[in-house]
Chains A and B, each alone.
Chain A
Amino acid sequence: MSTTVSRRNFLKITSIAAGSSLVLGFNFLNDASAADLADVIFSPNAYITISASGLVTLMSPNPELGQGVKTALPMILAEELDVKWDKINVEMAPLNAKYGSQNAGGSGAIRGRFMPIRQAGATARQMLVTAAAQQLNVNEADCYADDGYVIHKPTGKKLSYGELAAKAAALPVPTDVKLKDPKDFKIIGTRVPNIDNHKIVTGVPLYGMDTRREGMLFALVARPPAFGKKFKSFDDTETRKVAGVKNVVQAGNVVAVLATSTWAAKKGRDVLKVAWEDVSKLENTADHETAFAELVNTKAANPSRNDGDIDAALTAPNRVIEAVYEVPPLSHANMEPLNFFADVHDGKADLYGPSQVPAQARTAVARALNIPPDNITMAMPRQGGGFGRKLQPDNAVEAALISAAAKVPVQMMWTREDDLQGDFYRPSSMFKLRAAISPDNQLVAWHNSAAVLSRGRALSPDDFPAAAVPNFRCDSHNLTTNIQTGAWRAPTSNSVVFADESFMDELAHAMKKDPIAMRLELFEKAKNQPVGRMSYNIDKFRSVIDLVTEMSNWGKNTQKNVFHGFACSYAFSSYAAQVAEVTLVNNVPRVTRVYCAINCGRVVNLAGAENQVEGAICDGLSHALFSKITFKDGAVMEKNFNTYRFMHMKDAPIEVIVKFVKTEDPPTGLGEPALPAIAPAVANAIFAATGQRHRKLPFDLDKKVVPPGQIKPIPKES
């Protein structure tokens, strides 16, 4: 079966060069000249173009936020196309329906695109092989592709992809193509450095914040100073006197100051008088915590899960263990604060900026401007982080409204203070965990009653140890709020895993069992006598636990002042097991080493994968040690990085050791899965070191010097 595509359509791809006018100074191919672009002649699909001069350009369709897809996705294409990695150019694709879903979220880019883009690469390869066979007038079965050439095996004759491009372009596009046998992979599974490294280390403009266009103004925006407040009126008399300020406009619930420089815009905004009115309750973190404490002590009318008889099991003669865990709201605090470029004119809009959901952002802009989505062009720069914040399209909409109101191109940016006050926060939550241990020392009941500051779910009821415990109940309570909440790296898991895996450690100690051995016993129970549904695969879970046990030399540590803690997690179809090593330095715990085993299916880019896991661990550790948002009368108390804290080098592990379980399974998520387990692994290691149980995040360890004499040796496990 084959589909015919006209040569004229192939040629249309030259529009990738012509259509990129809104991406100034950014989207030129790595080393491509205009001449190379002009002679693009073969493009069997949206992802691949080959010029007569042999230049191969691969389009990376999903936004790059630091998760490495701009390297990994083209690697998959290059593998199936069979070209050398150092002979290609990679370009970030603008928003276009031909690329399908261009979102970055849910650790989904590699998972979702692995097979489709292998197909795309293999299609192009097959057409080049057919073209070579025709050109040489030989049997196609005797020809094969290798590193940018098609070779006729019997004669050794070879033709480059550039030489074959014109002929391949005239062929019908086959729909039934043969993918490479994974044992022949030359690129997938290797270490390829971040494609933009050289540009990053030399300061080349890459980010939305770096956008500079003819005639554009810099815009800073006055937004409500607290949740519960709304814009009422403004007086811009003083603002308009500031040198460089060109205009002040209202756009919805905000007021924008437009100026010839960022500093002028800031000075103008500093003297802008805006009156805000209270429209709803001004909320406080202290009140949220009080409300949580009440909620977790009530039973939900509809529990998320209810196996066996929890009340009967949580009574004598069983031993009941109880603990409450708390996690704070967090900001995404991307290093690159929100920004967007917009040029709205004549019923059209050019937009360029950071988004994890560009298609949704375009729809939102179209609605806000009341113009058709087709009148909007949207492209994405490299982005200075995402972590879930840019799943919201508010930055694009704001920039578009300001440009429309002021009738000029604008580069709208948020200051750090704006960013911390205007987030869609990781919601705070509280978990009351109770468990019953039978007289014969078995875990027979588990009850997690949780409350979260949002309408979302506080826990994942079918996650471990669900199915391993006969009496098992989960209650998920919601505390409604007018504070914006949203997805934050590894949503739900980033909170509930801290509670579950810390509690698991507490139970292991109560049962005098080794924390890993105790979990393995539970997995055996879930395997042999499962109670109800389970979200996880037991063998995959065991694969990471076994690997990290070996990597960390678990249970055999003899170093003085060095202590280990274990935790594991499952998210986005991937499994992580971690051992945190805490060293007491002058009696203060420091996380010195982290061992992590991951099962994420086949690894595409080993270098990028290692980076994601190391990064997720350091990110999770940094927040566990230091970060929290506090609301007072609807306003965020942590105004900047002096109080919204991240770890410095002195707090970071000296070493992060990462290993991947070798498997032929298709790739699963990787941007998020290594984050949830680090906080409990560290909490458990601190307990091993000091006997102190940290049940509330952040730990704030640098303030907690462990008094000498309170240091306990590692408990000897049976």
Chain B
Amino acid sequence: MATYHVSVNKKIVTVNADPDTPLLWVLRDHLNLVGTKYGCGIGACGACTVHMEGAAVRSCSFPIAGVGTNKITTIEGLSANGDHPVQLAWEETDVPQCGYCQSGQIMAASALLKRNPHPTDADIDANMTNICRCGTHYRIRKAIHLAAKKGGAAK
């Protein structure tokens, strides 16, 4: 067991955990930030996607010991009022069905827009590799384009 001081959603929090504990379980079980989801535990589905210094990271396969001073942002901290352009686009496009994978999809999409404010369909194909079991793919694509129009990279 070790003690870590990590920056999560602009706050420094103290966590006592084994060094190999995946960031996912630190968020969910230690910090009660349950918006980040477990789907596979091997980085294959992306339900657990968070931002580390603005880049998408699959938190189920990233140990707490590796976080260091990197700033973590979760779905709960993506915007103060749920009004990040990607969140707004997701609501406007009515993307979610069961909804379970969507926080990971939103974190992946917002990281993509930060790097590439106006992604083409081919860019979306290459960068969005999260799994959705309900089949919301078509709407996710529409919502990413809409978020780009709303200035998704601005945040």
A contact set with B: CB distance below 8 Å:
65-68, 191, 193-194, 196-198, 200-207, 209-210, 212, 218, 243, 260-264, 267, 333-337, 382-387, 413, 415-417, 607, 611-612, 614-622, 640-642, 646-650, 652-656
Contact = CB atoms under 8 A, between A and B. Distances in A.
B45 interface: yes
B131 A210 contact: no
A641 B101 CA distance: 14
A202 B78 CA distance: 8
A612 B139 CA distance: 12
Interface string B17-44: 1100110010011101111111111101
B113 interface: no
B150 interface: no
Given A66-B96, A263-B25, A334-B100, 20 more contacts: A202-B76, A203-B76, A261-B21, A263-B18, A264-B18, A382-B98, A385-B133, A416-B39, A611-B136, A619-B133, A641-B44, A641-B45, A641-B131, A646-B133, A648-B128, A649-B125, A649-B129, A654-B138, A655-B138, A656-B138
B59 interface: no
Contacts of B94: 191, 193-194, 197, 607, 611
A66 B98 contact: yes
Given A642-B44, A654-B121, A202 B82 contact: yes
Given A202-B87, A261-B25, A335-B47, A649 B124 contact: yes
B98 A384 contact: yes
Contact of A68 (B37, B38, B87, B97): B97
A284 B25 CA distance: 36
B134 A385 contact: yes
Nearest to B126: A650
A639 B87 CA distance: 33
The 9 residue pairs across chains A and B that have the minimum distance between CB atoms: A203-B35, A618-B135, A66-B98, A384-B100, A203-B75, A652-B137, A650-B125, A200-B99, A641-B44
B140 interface: yes
A612 B87 CA distance: 21
A336 B98 contact: yes
Nearest to B137: A652
Contact of B37 (A336, A386, A415, A652): A336
Contacts, number: 196
A351 B38 CA distance: 21
B21 A263 contact: yes
Among A193, A206, A336, the one with the most B-chain Cβ atoms within 10 Å of its Cβ is A336
Nearest to B121: A654
Contact of B22 (A197, A243, A263): A263
Nearest to A382: B99
A346 B29 CA distance: 28
Q: How large is the interface on B (under 10, 10 to 19, 20 to 34, 35 or more residues)?
A: 35 or more
Nearest to B83: A202
A66 B35 contact: no
A648 B44 contact: no
A654 B142 CA distance: 9
A675 B75 CA distance: 31
B41 A416 contact: yes
B96 to A, nearest CB: 5
A335 B133 contact: yes
B40 A649 contact: no
Nearest to A650: B125
Contacts of A243: 1, 18
A207 B95 CA distance: 17
B141 A649 contact: yes
Interface centre among A333, A640, A649, A650 (most CB of B within 10 A): A649
A611 B97 CA distance: 7
A193 B89 CA distance: 12
Nearest to A192: B94
B29 to A, nearest CB: 4
A261 B30 contact: yes
A94 to B, nearest CB: 20
A205 B34 contact: yes
6 contacts: A197-B96, A205-B35, A335-B45, A335-B47, A618-B136, A641-B131
A194 B134 contact: no
A615 B91 contact: no
Given A618-B135, A649-B141, A196 B75 contact: no
A434 B121 CA distance: 43
Nearest to B76: A203
A337 B99 CA distance: 13
Contacts of B96: 66, 194, 196-197, 200-201
Given A197-B94, A207-B100, A263-B25, A614 B34 contact: no
B106 interface: yes
B40 A200 contact: no
Chain A CB within 10 A, most for which of B38, B47, B97, B135: B135
Contact of B33 (A66, A203, A207, A382): A203
A641 B42 contact: yes
Nearest to B93: A193
Given A262-B25, A611-B97, A641-B39, A334 B141 contact: no
A334 B44 CA distance: 14
B19 to A, nearest CB: 11
